[in-house]
Amino acid sequence: MTSKKYFTKTLLQFFSDSTITLPWRGFKPDPYKVLISETMLQQTQVSRVIEKFTEFIEAFPTIFEVASASNEQIIRFWNGLGYNSRALRLKKTCDAIVKDNNGVIPYSYNELRSLPGIGDYTASAIVCFAFRVPVVVLDVNVIRVFSRFFSPQVYTTDVINEKEIRESLVRMLPKEHSSEFFQAIMDVARLYCKKSSPNCNECPLSPKCKSNNKLVFKKVTKRLEPSYLGFPRRIWRGRVLKIVTEHYSISVDEIVQILEMSEHIDWITTIIHLLEKDGLIEFEKVNETVRIKS
């Protein structure tokens, strides 16, 4: 059996034997649930998403509830997931679908891509997982597993060219089971083929994997995030945003008082400006207060 055939067969078998249940999965899951989960899963771990996804779906059972909610309500539910601009992107997408498509999520990749807030990954994931269209769903996890399996990598940070991977996947995609195929790769990436500590001994792909037990750990050199008083900037952003969502409108002084940061007003002002620049909040010039951008 060729490596490609082995890869596909093993992954589909792994998926069919798997007992993993995730609330947004199924043979043909609700496209709305796929849109929510895939947005939440960008930069947040599955275990954290499960809890927040369930809460979100209870509060906003359909796309219509998201469209009729305020930005403030959506951000409040997003609290704890981080990267709040995702929440506003999601809101914009839902608004557009309700306004222009009667709340029906399109099943064509091109139509999805033309919506505000939808990138290549989310469009492919919706089309593949919700509508079972055989398209390539490529994210960092798929790139990592594919690279390691098909070509001997030296360091844990090494991967092969994305274009090459995409072209190979187009050719080897199991047309009827592309949804299961990509979900299986993502499960293998999360459970075994982890970024810095792959567990090759337990991995179902190990018998034919070119990097099996060969990877040398290499620390990823991350761009250093600015921090203040020992906390990274994103934590400060989250703190300020949480306060703003809890008030209809609030002055900078009040935010500073709540945070007990009266000696650090410049830093809090910087954070407020950054949130404003990202379109999450807005200043009301008349009374100099801050509120969630409507």
Q: Which residues bind ligand SF4 (CB under 6 A)?
A: 145, 148-149, 192-193, 198-200, 203, 205-206, 209, 211-212, 215
Say how far apart CA 154 and CA 16 lie, in whole Å: 31
Cα 271 to Cα 244: distance, rounded to the nearest angstrom: 12
The distance of closest approach from Cβ of residue 210 to ligand SF4 in the complex, given in angstroms and rounded to an integer, is 8
Nearer to ligand SF4, 199 or 269 (CB): 199
Angle at 212 between CA 220 and CA 200, to 5 degrees: 80
Q: Which of 149, 178, 146, 173 is nearest to 162 (CA)?
A: 146
Q: Rounded to 5 degrees, what angle do the CA atoms 216, 217, 222 make?
A: 140
Phi-psi domain of 117 (left: phi exceeds 0; alpha: psi -120 through 50; beta: other): left
Comparing CB distances to ligand SF4, the nearer of 99 and 210 is 210
Q: CB of 12: closest distance to ligand SF4 in angstroms?
A: 16
Strands laid side by side in the 250-251 sheet = 250-251, 289-292, 281-284
Distance CA 27, CA 40 (A): 20
Rounded to a whole number of angstroms, the minimum distance from the CB of residue 156 to ligand SF4 is 9
Nearest distance from residue 160's CB to ligand SF4, in Å? 13
Pick between residue 37 and residue 206 the one whose CB is nearest to ligand SF4: 206
Comparing CB distances to ligand SF4, the nearer of 14 and 56 is 14
Nearer to ligand SF4 among residue 108 and residue 199 (C-beta): 199
The CA distance from 67 to 93, in Å, is: 9
Q: Which helix (H) or strand (E) holds 272?
A: helix 265-277
Provide, rounded to whole angstroms, the least separation between the CB of residue 215 and ligand SF4: 6
CA distance 104 to 94: 10
Point out the catalytic residue in the list 38, 167, 202, 246.
Answer: 38
Query: 4, 170 in Cβ contact below 8 A?
Result: no
Provide the CA 229 distance to its chain's centre, in angstroms.
29
User: Is 38 one of the catalytic residues?
Assistant: yes
In one-letter notation, the amino acid at residue 40 is: M
> Residue 49 or 145: which CB sits closer to ligand SF4?
145
Tell me, what DSSP letter sits at residue 124?
H
What is the CB neighbour count within 10 angstroms for residue 15? 20
Active site residues: 38
